Amino acid sequence: MTGLLAAAFEAPYLDYAALAPEMVLTGVLLAVLVVDLFVDEGRKAVVAQLAGVGLLASLLPIVFLAVDGNDRSMFSGAYVVDDFALVLKALFLVSGYVVLLMSADHIEEGDYWKGEYTFLLLSSLLGMVVMCSSRDLLTIFVALELLSIPAYMLAGWRKRDLRSNEAALKYYLLGVLSSAVMLYGMSLVFGATGTTVLEDIARELGDNTSEPLVKLGIFFIVVGFAFKVSAVPFHFWAPDTYEGAPTPVTAFLSVASKAAGFVALLQLVFVGFFGQDNVWQPLFWVLAALTMTVGNLVALRQTNVVRLLAYSSVAQAGYMLVPFAVGGSGDAAARTAQTAAIVYLLIYAAMNLGAFAVVIAVARKTRSGEVSSYGGLFTYAPGLTVLMTVFLFSLAGIPPFGGWFAKLYIFKSAVDAGTGWSVALAVITGVNSVIALFYYASVAREMWMRPVPDEDVTPVRVPPALGAALAITALAVVAIGIYPQAFARLGDLAELAVR
Amino acid sequence: MFDSWALTLVVFLPAVGAALLVAVPRRAENLMKLVALATTLATAAVGVAILARFDYGATDTLQFEVDRPWIDVINSRYHMGVDGISLPLLALSVLITVLCVVYSWDHFPEPHNPKAFLALMLVLETGMNGTFVGQDLILFFVFFELVLLPMYFMIGVWGGPNRQYAAIKFFLFTLFGSALMILAFLALYFKGGNTFDIPLLVERGGTIARDAQILIFGGLFMGFAIKVPMFPFHTWLPDAHTEAPTVGSVILAAVLLKLGTYGFIRIALPILPDAAQAWAPWIGGLAVVGIIYGALGCLAQKDLKRLIAFSSVAHMGFVMLGIATLTDYGINAAVFGMVAHGLITGMLFFIAGSIQERYGTREMSRLGGLLLQAPRLAWLLGFCAMASLGLPGLAGFWGEFPAILSAYQPAPGLSEALFRVYMVVAAVGTVFAAGYLLWMYQRTAFGTAKKEFAEAHVHDVHLPEWLAWAPLLLLILILGIFPSLIFRVTDGAVQSMTSALQAIGG
């Protein structure tokens, strides 16, 4: 800020190679907007295909940057492209691609505005990609708004559906509220340290500051993001929004948007506020324990699959908060915690997107989201049933599906920290995974062990795009489950440099 | 060449078979059965080759070892090997699966669907074999958990009227145990110098502080004791057994329960010797309570399968008592008891399944006169009941009797008086066992058929049943006469383990 007042303005150094993924993505989303204007109503699929190709194209520079291997830093440390950023950018782009595949037929058949939908989805993705490199309070805030505002609109995409309207409105109001809370916290931290760059904040604050304003600032920032990742008690928007929004959007919100919140938290906590663990560690402990317990207990009572998955994703957020609650005791603990959180994010993305893809496929036939509509699915759609079983039990953490490894890493981070509190949290997590199994298994029970409710056993037709989404996610879940090394390496690579 | 691939083959052949099964077209039922049979036979052939090439002079060393990198980031390795303790159990597992496929040939429970049923059975075999040969805690954990899903579906889809409740109960109980178990594994990892390798941890485990050992043992105990199951964690077992289809019950009784006791012998005792000392009196206590409770439970049952299930609780009590003595005598008896219980109780569940198929009921009050209506089946039931109650000359005796005897002289450091009390209680348990088994036999086999079945034409044992049962019956007899066939294999491995344990107490 003071730089602006200085006499001579010096153009900041721009590393175009480092910004290539963002630039390609921006180009694609502008192209989508323009092409959409000139394509006939019947041929809007072209727009989505263009977007898909564009997403894959923006993965290319990420691969090159990863091979190159140099960390690149711009704007005096406010924007950093390192392995952490690259791994997570790739995660967002691939998740975005899968969501696009899932949306293809859903949006077309629902008679929605396909071109604009694609454009907004890409914009939100751009925000997420920017978020991965943001090491500055303001950049984080800008990235967050860039990813959130299109998401508010996407949640309300079923214009004439009251529940979709409710979904969007709730999401918007709480989103804005949380942004305000967060921004207030940021202003306090800025006021105390005189800088917005996370590394400088860490340097200014030193170890465990006693400044109450800073503590309050950190508290507000974490609470703001607790809304974003739907941590209890700031979760109540999530189930309504998830249920009301079009299902592909729900998948997007519950995976990508949530992951973006965690990415921001990782950077804030482990770079900016790493020394202040006496403030955030207890806070995250409470959030984690509450989030997983409440999420799981409420999920037990759900009769709608989307709502069930919504509460399940609340509970999953609780597991992902565990590393934050135990990662503050030192460099080693911080590294394990980060790896645990990132590994969980990667695996969670695959299994949750997969589960939603099955929900979309089944709803094409049953036109219902009730758990009871899954009765006897195995008799007429054995393939989808097996896939759903894989995703559900992966979410439950049962080997040999990917989820077990994610959960193992969470446990590992907690046991590694070795304090009484962290072990207690690990035990709470363990008990919670048993509770969670009950509702995941209840969907499986419906599919395998119950009769078909309306005796309509016409097979479910799965369009190719949706099939591709299912194949990608299922392959990832099974491959990670059997040979976790491949993905765990990514998590290991992606550690942020702690001070 | 063979030696380094043998264990990988024995573990993953069934999984490959399951994948092949999925590709078989829906209508080609015979082809499915053939694929399943060929897979299990091939796996059994590998098992036989392992038995043949095993070096019986060095049962305490891991043989057919493979040790390759698997998940480097957490130092978990693909480490497998068999020693004298795993070998009999591995052999049991490959044998039982073949027999289950043979028995299933024309006994597919409703809702039929042989493809899914057989595929689940094969996945189950991968999990069971893998658990017995895994020498890395994470590898062990993955295989230990791998059996949950197939068994859940086997009970839940093909089971009896109350199957959904039984299936989820089984799943939740075991998962609760394994959640605590995996925490204990992680604690071992950090306390044992960042390794999941079981042989390495056995070397280093003794150096962990006693208090930490006791806590970690608690986590392991929950994981294994629920699986065994020990009193008071046994309540899932009668439900699961009663509702499971015949083949499911057989696999559950014959192999799955052994995963728990095996875990105690392979992991809990050798890695945490001090904690084993501290926990042994409690384990022994729960074991004898289980013996008496299981026996009393049997006396209260009306359902044949439920009675056999409760008898399992009692029998596993003997196995756990043997383990709790921490002596080589007791643990040898325990391993023998595991094999014998697998053969005998597996056989009993087969017969119970066949009786249900013939009469459409397992209510003992409605049965009777089996000796008149199907004499061969009745004789087989009698033979197995005798074996189960521990008649000398049959396999059951060598699991039970030495386990009781071993409590007379527990490992140094354990209270002799206490274990002698256990011994007496366990001995009383054998009397109960004779009671409930003879009572069961009396009600089902003696007398004449009840009115509703008086005119019924009841098939006697037919060919697929003979084929599936003959190996078990023979083994029950042979192991009863030559118990050294097993003891010779286990003794070396057990001795090298207990000598370390006794060093602590002495």
User: How do residues B57-112 score in pLDDT, each as one tens digit?
Assistant: 888 888 999 999 998 888 899 999 999 999 999 999 999 999 999 998 877 777 87
Distance CA A203, CA A205 (A): 6
- CA nearest B234: which of B266, B265, B260, B263? B260
Q: What is the pLDDT of residue A48?
A: 86
Best probe of the A interface among B16, B24, B73, B216, by most A CBs < 10 A, is B73
Buried b / exposed e across B459-498, counting CB within 10 Å, b at 16+?
Answer: eebeeebeebbeebbebbeebbeebeebbebbbbbbbbbb
| B159: nearest CA partner in chain A | A449
Contacts of B154 in chain A (CB under 8 A): none
Please return the burial class of B38, using the count of CB atoms within 10 Å of its CB with bins 0-12, 13-18 and 19+: middle
Distance from CA of B465 to the nearest CA of A (A): 28
Helices H / strands E in chain B, number of each:
23, 2
Pairwise CB contact (< 8 Å): B183 & A426? yes
Contacts of A404 in chain B (CB under 8 A): 142, 145
Q: Does A416 touch chain B (CB under 8 A)?
A: yes
| B146: nearest CA partner in chain A | A399
Predicted confidence (pLDDT) at residue A499 exceeds the cutoff of 50: no
Q: Give residue B47's domain range.
A: 2-505
Tell me which residues of chain A, numbers 34 to 93, contact chain B at a CB-CB cutoff of 8 Å. none
Band the pLDDT of A163: cuts 50, 70, 90: confident
What pairs with residue B76 in β-bridges? B71
CA B180, B272, B322 angle in degrees (round to 5)? 90
ipTM over 0.85: yes
Q: Phi, psi at residue A472, to the nearest 5°?
A: -60, -50
Pairwise CB contact (< 8 Å): B74 & A488? yes
Distance CA B479, CA B497 (A): 24
B377-434 pLDDT, tens digit per residue, is 999 999 999 999 988 989 999 989 999 999 999 988 888 999 999 999 999 999 999 9
Predicted confidence (pLDDT) at residue B505 exceeds the cutoff of 60: no
Please return the burial class of A368, using the count of CB atoms within 10 Å of its CB with bins 0-12, 13-18 and 19+: middle
Contacts of A488 in chain B (CB under 8 A): 71, 73-74
- CA nearest A150: which of A168, A173, A174, A129? A168
Number of domains in chain B: 1
Distances (CA, A) of A355 to A384, A390, B434: 10, 9, 53
Distance CA A416, CA B108 (A): 48
Q: Does A452 touch chain B (CB under 8 A)?
A: no
Q: Does A449 touch chain B (CB under 8 A)?
A: yes
Amino acid at B362: R
Residue with tokens 């491995």: B493
Contacts of A448 in chain B (CB under 8 A): 153, 156-157
A246-303 pLDDT, tens digit per residue, is 899 999 999 999 999 999 999 999 988 888 888 899 999 999 999 999 999 999 999 9
Q: Give residue A131's domain range.
A: 2-493
Number of domains in chain A: 1
Helices H / strands E in chain A, number of each:
21, 2
| A437: nearest CA partner in chain B | B172
Beta-carbon contacts of residue A392 (< 8 Å; ≥ 6 apart) = A355, A440, A441, A443, A444
Q: What is the pLDDT of residue A7?
A: 56
Distance CA A25, CA B487 (A): 69
Distance CA A305, CA B202 (A): 46
Contacts of A333 in chain B (CB under 8 A): none
Pairwise CB contact (< 8 Å): A437 & B171? yes
Pairwise CB contact (< 8 Å): B183 & A399? no
Q: What is the pLDDT of residue A276?
A: 86
* Residue A27, in any domain of the structure: yes
Distance CA B444, CA B368 (A): 4
User: With the C-alpha atoms ordered B238, B244, B246, B251, is the resulting torsion angle positive or negative?
Assistant: negative
Q: Does B362 touch chain A (CB under 8 A)?
A: no
* Residue A499, in any domain of the structure: no
Band the pLDDT of A5: cuts 50, 70, 90: low
Pairwise CB contact (< 8 Å): B183 & A423? yes
Helix (H) or strand (E) holding A353: helix A331-366
Q: Are A409 and A341 in contact (CB under 8 A)?
A: no
Distance CA A339, CA B231 (A): 40
